[in-house]
Structure 1
Amino acid sequence: MSAKSEGIAPNASRLLWAGFMAILAAGVGFALRNGILGAWAAQYGFSDTQLGAIGGAGFSGFCFGIIIGGVIVDKLGYGKLVAVALLGHILSAVVTFGANTPDNAYNCLYWGMFIFAYANGTLEAVANPLVATLFPKKRTHYLNILHASWPLGMIIGALASYLLGTQLGLSWKMQLAFYLVPTVAYAVMFMGQSFPKSEAAIKGANFSEMFKDVGLLGAVVACFLLSLFLGDVIKPLLPETLANNAATIGYVLGGVLLITVGVITRFAIGSVLLFVLFLTHLILGSLELGTDSWIERITKNLFDEEKGKTLFIWTCTIMFALRFCAHWIETKLKLSPVGLLLVCSILAIIGLQLASGMQTFTMAMIALGIYAVGKTFFWPTMLAIVGDRFPRSGAVAMSIMGGVGMLSVGMIGGPGLGFSKDYFTAKELESKNPAAYAEMKSATPSSFFGMKATPVDGTKLEEAKTAVKAGTGSESQKAVVDANQAGDRKTLKIDSILPTTMAVIYLGLLIYFKTIGGYRVLRIDEQSA
């Protein structure tokens, strides 16, 4: 059966593919940005930790977009939020392209990525609940189809980066501007469409009722991540005497937000199940998108630019194809959404462990292929579980969970993996060639949650890679390139801890649902009862 016949609205198919194009635009921008990280490091001297922070802003802004959008979407309407997203995508290009010197580059790139992510989050605040509402009997299937646009967007973005950058030699600004093409396309597809109301809106659920399932437990997860973000943002704005207290001020502001949620919900504790799902999605975001934000740079480093690009496209192609198969897997293999997620976690563990030791291109294809199969169903299936089990929360719980996943990438996953690369590269180089480390180390230390490292200077590292590739590298340059590759391998191995934790959680959820009669979709009246 087609999307047109299975949807509850006559324009269900048009809206599904408009949402598809909107998320595709986000994927294109994401892949283009990944392809120019090296250019930023070479031009502005950024360390991997700094690049991770800029990349992280490309996710943390998403949190604000999806949470704010999810809270107001039923009141403001889908169409107006699409217009807000369109303006955000255009503004992000203006801010990002303002990066011209090492003095202004970091702020322009950081806030440009933040605005870009805010627009993406706003679009997902529209697309996720819209598709969940349009296809209530096949949420897992159609949400996976909707999110097949993400890997397709990354494929298009990676190819565009290769053609525009590697082949035509255009500047990074010209490459990044390509994401405006699908931006115009989704704007046209949404134009003039009528939108259905969610089950929560039809039933007349008010804002307080929709927030009760989230409650204090769910809000703790979101407010913790927001505290980290606010502490980072306000630090450069504070007087020098208060700058060291920025983290504390961030936690205070997060506490105020938590109390606000308590007042709105009359201090409802919230659902323990939803709290567990939020925590799991925090880990999931750092795993899937945090790894995605670095994987192309890592594979380029371990092999070469063309093979790195090929491997990135290979994993995205697997994800794109398999996301159309979620319903078949559920029905033919008799897997519940939670069972599917457990299997995916195990595959992700195997894939990352194999990838940490890959020496040949063939082994890389196998290892990253297994990892790609594993991560394929994570994000959309988690959204489907929230839609299935918490219909009263409507767009709110779904949007907050998406925001938690994205903000975890921005504050934990992206910077954390960047720090890991910095730490293990520096440690390897210092132990193998102390003189090269003294020559190559950066003047600016890297830190992550209290851990500190003095990384290799980003500009010197990129110069070393170029020289070694050309066969003119010095002994110090060869040593730093070898150390950087060793650091990348150790980072992939450490990364496998995340799906291991997720597998334990999903196994627990599988047992929980078995004790209550099995996993099934709830209606609002059933949930209330």
Structure 2
Amino acid sequence: MSENPINPQRLLWAGFTAILATGVGFAVRGGILDNWGAEFGFSATQLGVISGAGLTGFCFGIFAGGLVVDKLGYGKLIVVSFVLHALSAIVTLTAAPEMGMATAYKYLFWGTFIFALANGALEAVANPLVARLFPENRTHYLNILHASWPLGLVLGGALGWLLDDRMGVSWKLQLVMFLLPTVIYGAMFLGQKFPKSEAAESGLGLGEMFKDVGLLGGVVVAAMLALFFSATFPSIPTWLLFVGGIVIVGVIGKITSFAVGSVVLFVLFGTHILVGAVELGTDGWIQNITGNILSSEQGKVLFVITSLTMFLLRFCAGWIEKNLRLSPVSLLCVCAIFAFIGLNLTSGITSFGGAVVALLIYGVGKTFFWPTMLAICGDRFPRTGAIAMSIMGGLGMMSGGLIGLPGLGYAKDRFASEALVERAPQVYAESQAQEKSGWLFFEPVAAIDGRALAEAKAAEEPTNDQIALIESDLAGDRKTLKADSVIPVTLAVIYLGFVLYYRSCGGYRRLVLAKEVASRR
């Protein structure tokens, strides 16, 4: 008998606390975007790119972690994550106005990116670990694990409200707050024994574990990595990105004997890219947007209410699945419809009460997206071990960083600028940012200067020109939410397709990778 047996409950709650640290850090960063805009003069697009680095770096952490977690061991990855979390705080806190906008931008970007690397390595441990510890009820326990994310948002949002709006504490002190749960999760994981994934225990090699991912999955990974490098390092020539993508797909082809991969998993990867864009992108901007429409303090309160609802509901996933007889794909279809309705209602809010109703509907919608997608991956593709689940999580986070956050930031800039041009073209000419902000293949736009907008909002008796700035910014926020709602309605169509597909196959069910079957492969 082992002197140090596996303790599933402690490992579950240690993983819970680790993701809690991620949520606290994410929420605090979302709440101080206006501080960074006012202090450094960043545009909404620039703020979106910095905030997006808090997600894109995650992809590299979880991709690398997913590849080595079964060989290297969970404990060593946790130590790496702990060190990276501490380093991210040091780099971010170094940023100061006197060093200039360009230099401060780099410190904030890379500090946020390192923070995301730590988060990715942690999820490379937590997701497959919980899926392995509770194989009979993955949807329920993965939702419990990821209930820590909205709880982290609640705590981070509440801290921002107290320290920023009430006490006027500097953004640097607010950012340090995520280090407390970091220390706690390190202590909880210390000395624990970890199980192996089902695939690793069955003796499958890396090539066999990658076969369901195959060439199709490799194309998705290569495309997202190319998007990251082109956005982060614009000087890299396109041909080099293309060659890099071919190499990635070629390596996967080599180790899998050029297996095409599962079409279903390929579609799931693409679907999770949309999930990351709408869930994480909206989470990163919703405090700012509702704070503009109502007030900064009310925006933070609404964020806390929505996140708390999400936290509580994630403990109910097992009950919903059992008593409402909803398969994971059916649950996701219903959620997508709620998210679409909620975002559209939020775009038209005029009062705090109306905002609560709208955001609660949206909160119910987004609650089960992320963990239930991971549960489907674990249920349907057990031979991939931690790999497919890590790739899925990485793609979602990278999408949030590359598509969701900067995309919504670009939308805010574009819609607000268009509104100001229509309302007061002379004011726009005098208050536009010096450099245009672009995103993906969309036309660059000269955004409203962050400092000019901050001065207008801070004025006790704003001038007519300042009122035009404020109201144009507000119009941009409302249009941004409407544009954002296109994603969940697209998800609803995709999930409905999955519902019909599994019904045609005899119904959704969990697949089990038997040791004796694996040994003959």
Normalising by structure 1, what TM-score?
0.95
Task: Identify the residue that residue 410 of structure 2 maps to in structure 1.
Answer: 419
Task: Identify the residue that residue 128 of structure 2 maps to in structure 1.
Answer: 129
2: CA distance, partners of 1:168 / 1:252: 52
Task: Identify the residue that residue 362 of structure 1 maps to in structure 2.
Answer: 353
2: CA distance, partners of 1:402 / 1:493: 26
1: CA distance, partners of 2:95 / 2:65: 29
Secondary structure (helix, strand or coil) at the match of 1:138 reads helix
1: CA distance, partners of 2:339 / 2:425: 36
Letter in 2 for 1:401: M
Tell whether 2:304 aligns with 1:313: yes
Letter in 2 for 1:144: N
Unaligned residue ranges in structure 2 (runs of 5+): none
Across the aligned residues of Structure 1 and Structure 2, the Cα RMSD in angstroms comes to: 1.3
Task: Identify the residue that residue 138 of structure 2 maps to in structure 1.
Answer: 139
Residue deviations 1:21-43 (CA, integer Å, cap 9, x gap)? 00000000001101110111011
Letter in 2 for 1:394: G
Contact 1:284 1:405 in 2 (8 A): yes
Q: CA deviation at 1:248?
A: 4.2
Contact 1:52 1:417 in 2 (8 A): yes
Q: Give the stretch that moved more between structures: 167-176 or 28-37.
A: 167-176
Contact 2:213 2:262 in 1 (8 A): yes
Q: CA deviation at 1:10?
A: 4.8
- 1:493-512 superposed matches below 5 A: 493-512=482-501
Task: Identify the residue that residue 473 of structure 1 maps to in structure 2.
Answer: 462
2: CA distance, partners of 1:116 / 1:436: 39
2: CA distance, partners of 1:335 / 1:89: 38
Task: Identify the residue that residue 401 of structure 1 maps to in structure 2.
Answer: 392
Task: Identify the residue that residue 197 of structure 1 maps to in structure 2.
Answer: 196
Q: Give the stretch that moved more between structures: 251-260 or 293-302.
A: 251-260
Indicate which of 442, 462, 478 corresponds to 1:489. 478
Tell whether 2:516 aligns with 1:520: no
Letter in 2 for 1:62: F
Letter in 1 for 2:155: I
2: CA distance, partners of 1:259 / 1:417: 34
Task: Identify the residue that residue 75 of structure 1 maps to in structure 2.
Answer: 71
2: CA distance, partners of 1:473 / 1:247: 47
1: CA distance, partners of 2:120 / 2:458: 37
Letter in 2 for 1:299: T
2: CA distance, partners of 1:255 / 1:473: 56
Residue deviations 1:104-146 (CA, integer Å, cap 9, x gap)? 1110010001000010010000000000000000100000000
Residue deviations 1:432-490 (CA, integer Å, cap 9, x gap)? 111111111111101112222111011111111111xx2x2111110010001100000
Letter in 2 for 1:463: E
Contact 1:229 1:250 in 2 (8 A): no
Tell whether 2:336 aligns with 1:345: yes
2: CA distance, partners of 1:482 / 1:420: 16
Identify if the C-alpha distance between structure 1 residues 246 and 47 changes in structure 2 by more than 3 Å, giving closer, same or farther: farther
Tell whether 2:89 aligns with 1:93: yes
Contact 2:320 2:326 in 1 (8 A): yes
2: CA distance, partners of 1:84 / 1:384: 26
Contact 1:234 1:246 in 2 (8 A): no
Question: How many residue pairs were aligned?
Answer: 510
Task: Identify the residue that residue 113 of structure 1 maps to in structure 2.
Answer: 112
Q: Give the stretch that moved more between structures: 293-302 or 441-450.
A: 441-450
Residue deviations 1:332-366 (CA, integer Å, cap 9, x gap)? 10000000000000000110111111111111111
Indicate which of 374, 381, 385 corresponds to 2:365. 374
Indicate which of 444, 447, 454 corresponds to 2:446. 454
Letter in 2 for 1:231: S
Q: Give the stretch that moved more between structures: 169-178 or 75-84.
A: 169-178
Contact 2:160 2:300 in 1 (8 A): no
Contact 2:94 2:107 in 1 (8 A): yes
2: CA distance, partners of 1:13 / 1:194: 12
Task: Identify the residue that residue 211 of structure 2 maps to in structure 1.
Answer: 212
Q: CA deviation at 1:169?
A: 2.1
Contact 2:342 2:362 in 1 (8 A): yes
Task: Identify the residue that residue 228 of structure 2 maps to in structure 1.
Answer: 229
Letter in 2 for 1:439: E
